[in-house]
Amino acid sequence: GQQLNQSPQSMFIQEGEDVSMNCTSSSIFNTWLWYKQDPGEGPVLLIALYKAGELTSNGRLTAQFGITRKDSFLNISASIPSDVGIYFCAGQGIASNTGKLIFGQGTTLQVKP
């Protein structure tokens, strides 16, 4: 089945630094989504991307839908302590007509004040 490879697996950075994480797939996706999950909570949608090449920002977050439709990245600028959490990419495959999502393995972000 379709899989997403998300990297890095974890990051430990200083407050104020920029962060970048990405997802790749061997197959094409129609939609790329980025979620954040806090401990004990459900995923919260950060950014949704619907077109190849699309670049979208949400505050300090910027994400892009790769032109090949097989990859996406998420950047966080000027990180702050509340950015701590697990970030997941998720995609809706081209063959899917039910809206189900394929999730990456997650990137755990830790921010040192």
Partner 1 sequence: NAGVMQNPRHLVRRRGQEARLRCSPMKGHSHVYWYRQLPEEGLKFMVYLQKENIIDESGMPKERFSAEFPKEGPSILRIQQVVRGDSAAYFCASSPVEDSNTEAFFGQGTRLTVV
Q: Which residues bind partner 1 (CB under 8 A)?
A: 4, 6, 31, 33, 40-45, 48, 50, 88, 90, 92, 97-106
Name which of 70 and 77 has its Cβ closer to partner 1: 70
Is 91 buried (19+), middle (13-18) or exposed (0-12) by CB count in 10 A?
buried
Alpha carbon 30 to its chain centroid, in Å, reads 15
Which of 16, 110 has the CB closer to partner 1?
A: 110
Provide, rounded to whole angstroms, the least separation between the CB of residue 98 and partner 1. 4
When the beta carbons of 2 and 77 are compared against partner 1, the nearer one is: 2
In angstroms, what is the minimal distance from the CB of 108 to partner 1? 8
Taking a C-beta distance cutoff of 8 angstroms, is the pair 101, 86 a contact? no
Q: What are phi and psi of 66, to 5 degrees?
A: -60, 150
Q: How far is the CB of 20 from partner 1 (least distance, A)?
A: 19
Choose between 10 and 20: whose C-beta lies nearer to partner 1: 10
